[in-house]
Copies of this chain bind each other. A is one copy, B any other.
Amino acid sequence: MAVYTEVSDAELEAFLAEYDIGEADSFKGIAEGVENSNYLLVTSIGQFIVTLYEKRVDPRELPFFLGLMDHLAARGINCPQPIHGRDGQALRQLAGKPAAITSFLHGLWPRRILPSHCGPVGEALAGLHLAGRDFPLRRPNALSVGGWRPLFEASRHSIDDPALAHELEDELVFFEAGWPDGLPSGVIHADLFNDNVFFLHDRLSGLIDFYFACNDAFAYDVAICLNAWCFEPDMSFNATKARALLQGYERARPLEPEERRQLPLLARGAALRFLLTRLYDWVHTPEGALVKRKDPREYLDRLRFHRGTASIADYGL
């Protein structure tokens, strides 16, 4: 949940005057998005989302994110579509922060993941990978293997259990010695968790939150989804969900043999990535912050599961 920046009446009015979407009939902070302030805006012509980019987003990267949403929407992907002002710009300032208006997507994110969600998620992910192939801008993945050690070093003092610190150190050394490269790559979402996927009457209706999108291996995005969608609340792995997700993905984009071979390793790396960012946030989020901290240990269980798999057959394919 997140509304960090209050917007005054005059600021909102001046901001909306740059657009052709009518005046504000309603403007409510919404409890979605941990990184930014999001408002639901209702005007005479419809509903929109106004996002103010807070300090964790680098303003220099916003043209990549907004351009990507423009690009994907133009190719039929149901994602928030940036609204351009009369000057053609989608990005401007509101209340002293970079801000943009995007279209409002109908749908609800599934609070409880069912196997029937996973096929459509896989298929939508592949559709996203295909639609992004000719997107001209590039953004390296700052949270790939090269970014993991700094997160670990900044957080290891908080790990009470020496065996656990040792285990994570071993994982880092293992991945630093050889992270798959040369796999088919392009724009990936990199954060396609269930709160970023909307369903409407049992059909997938949209994908949101492209603020981790970057250039990386497509199969790594699949590996993130295996972590995000295929573990039960008790951390047991649900191979039925994984099979549905992978089969859904392959309906739109079949995995190449090398991607299939590397999938267990990529899934293990993805688990380490979310473990380390959660650990970092756990250690560095002040007690009183208006952000709910997420338990990193869920990803330790996932990591250990993936370390024990032998091939893509363990993921239901």
Residues of A with Cβ closer than 8 Å to B? Answer: 1, 3, 6-10, 12, 23-32, 40, 42, 47, 104-108, 110-112, 200-201, 287-288, 290, 292
Contacts and interface: CB of A to CB of B under 8 A. Distances in A.
Contact of A7 (B10, B111, B200, B287): B111
A25 B106 contact: yes
A295 to B, nearest CB: 15
Contact of A1 (B9, B31, B107): B31
Contact of A30 (B30, B47, B107, B111): B30
Interface of A is mostly: loop
A8 B233 CA distance: 14
**A-B pairs, 7 with minimum CB distance:** A29-B31, A25-B106, A3-B31, A8-B111, A28-B30, A287-B288, A27-B108
Given A1-B3, A9-B111, A29 B32 contact: yes
B27 A30 contact: no
B30 A106 contact: no
Contacts of A108: 9, 12, 24-27
A12 B40 CA distance: 21
19 contacts: A1-B1, A1-B3, A1-B29, A8-B112, A9-B108, A9-B110, A9-B111, A9-B112, A24-B108, A25-B107, A25-B108, A26-B104, A28-B31, A29-B30, A29-B31, A30-B31, A30-B40, A42-B106, A288-B288
Of listed A32, A105, A110, residue having the most chain B CB within 10 A: A32
A24 B109 CA distance: 11
A47 B30 CA distance: 15
Nearest to A26: B106
Given A111-B7, A288-B287, A32 B28 contact: yes
A99 to B, nearest CB: 16
A31 B36 CA distance: 13
A292 B1 CA distance: 13
A288 B292 CA distance: 10
